[in-house]
């Protein structure tokens, strides 16, 4: 079958352009097989990374029809069938149309040439979470650190990460927040927390709790879970760190924790949120954070001026039911976490 590959090419001083290549391919060919043929048979100047051809090294990450993936894992047949499910055509007979596959470099990283991106920001963000088992405060055993099979099995899922960058490329939070370290780094952070040999959990939780650089920067868009070729499920790992932070740290330790705790307290108290108190408690830290209070003062004044500031609060009629519901969930969570411990 014929397929047109539209490759987004980029070269310094020339910006980006789209170049089309038509190949005769088999459905079982991988996208990497096709890129190799383009390079070997049609255009030796096309640049892309590859190594193992086997979903091991993580080198061949790129965007295939907008989805970050490994070129050596995706084959033409499954890619075209995915496309046919998401594209709508009013033309009932499109057997004459040659299918197209659009290939672009990974997102959220500067492009060096064609499909090759500069991975330095990716590695720097990984480094920022201290992705090494701590050796401080440990007595180095004579030969090695032993783990039970159960302790080792806790690391299986996060240990599968091959650092391909697909999650980082697809991360919406990373796109708008240059401080956010990214899903790959936080999945690794959870791997460190789970490691029985690491003694730094407490300081790690403080570090990952820091404003929107760590776990609170994640907007839970699910994209990292969706694209990860190794089923690391970075978003689930981030949620596990959040749970641990919420259990172990009090609400003075970060605005993000106050946000969650105050929200639940206010809904329990009035069935819905009393907006007047919310900002004062979360951003103003119960009147202790003067800088925070000053930062929301202009908004309060604008609301007053436009008649949008609520002077009174009326509790919801269903407050009791809502409060009972929250209490039951909290009780259930508490007992299941004490069982797990």
List residues binding ligand FES (CB under 6 A).
Answer: 50-53, 55-60, 70, 72
CA atoms of 157 and 15, how far apart (whole Å): 39
187 interacts with ligand SF4 by CB under 6 A: yes
Q: Which does 70 bind (CB under 5 to 8 A by kind): ligand FES, ligand SF4, none?
A: ligand FES
β-pairing, 67-70 vs 61-64, is: antiparallel
Q: Which is nearer to ligand SF4, 46 or 215 (CB)?
A: 215
**CB closer to ligand SF4, 7 vs 173:** 173
Taking the C-alpha atoms of residue 160 and residue 157, their distance in angstroms, rounded to an integer, is 5
Answer positive or negative: Cα dihedral of 40, 46, 52, 55. Answer: negative
Q: How far apart are CA 333 and CA 77, in angstroms?
A: 45
Question: Of the candidates 23, 106, 117, 232, which one interacts with ligand SF4 according to CB under 6 A?
Answer: 232
Member of 69, 104, 109, 166 binding ligand SF4 (CB under 6 A)? 166
Long-range contacts from 116-121, C-beta under 8 angstroms, 24+ separation: 116/47, 116/48, 116/49, 117/165, 119/165
Pick from ligand FES, ligand SF4, none: which does 69 bind, CB < 5 to 8 A by kind?
none
Whichever of 112 and 303 has its CB closer to ligand FES, that residue is 112
Question: Per rule CB under 6 A, is residue 194 in the interface with ligand SF4?
Answer: no
Give the range of 75-83, 127-135, 229-237, 254-262 binding ligand SF4 by CB under 6 A. Answer: 229-237
Q: Which range touches ligand SF4 (CB under 6 A), out of 43-51, 181-189, 239-247, 267-275?
A: 181-189
* Secondary structure class of 260 (helix, strand, coil): helix
Q: Residue 104 forms beta bridges with which residues?
A: 63
């Amino acid at each position: 079958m014929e397929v047109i590959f539209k490759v987004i090419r980029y070269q310094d001083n020339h910006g980006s352009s789209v170049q089309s290549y038509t190949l005769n391919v088999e459905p079982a060919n991988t996208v990497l097989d096709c890129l190799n043929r383009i390079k070997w048979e049609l255009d030796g100047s096309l640049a892309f990374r590859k190594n193992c051809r086997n979903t091991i090294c993580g080198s061949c990450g790129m965007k295939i029809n907008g989805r970050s993936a490994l070129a050596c894992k995706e084959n033409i047949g499954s890619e075209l069938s995915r496309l046919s499910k998401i594209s709508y055509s009013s033309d009932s007979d499109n057997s004459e149309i040659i299918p197209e596959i659009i290939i672009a470099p990974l997102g959220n990283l500067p492009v060096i040439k064609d499909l090759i991106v500069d991975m330095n920001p990716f590695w720097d963000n990984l480094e920022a979470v201290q992705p090494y088992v701590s050796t401080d405060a440990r007595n180095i055993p004579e030969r090695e650190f032993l783990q039970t099979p159960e302790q080792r099995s806790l690391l299986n899922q996060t240990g599968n990460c091959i650092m391909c960058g697909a999650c980082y490329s697809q991360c919406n939070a990373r796109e708008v927040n240059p401080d956010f370290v990214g899903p790959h780094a936080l999945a690794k952070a959870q791997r460190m927390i789970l490691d029985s040999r690491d003694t730094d959990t407490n300081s790690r939780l403080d570090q990952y709790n820091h404003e929107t650089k760590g776990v609170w920067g994640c907007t839970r868009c699910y994209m990292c879970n969706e694209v990860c070729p190794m089923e690391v499920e970075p978003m689930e790992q981030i949620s596990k760190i959040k749970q641990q932070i919420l259990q172990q740290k009090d609400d003075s330790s970060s605005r993000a924790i106050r946000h969650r705790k105050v929200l639940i307290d206010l809904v329990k108290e009035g069935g819905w949120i009393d907006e007047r108190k919310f900002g004062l408690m979360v951003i103003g830290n119960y009147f202790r954070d003067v800088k925070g209070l000053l930062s929301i003062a202009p908004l309060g004044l604008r609301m007053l001026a436009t008649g949008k500031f609520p002077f009174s609060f009326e509790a919801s009629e269903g407050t009791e039911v809502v409060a009972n519901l929250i209490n039951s969930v909290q009780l259930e969570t508490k007992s299941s976490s004490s069982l797990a411990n």
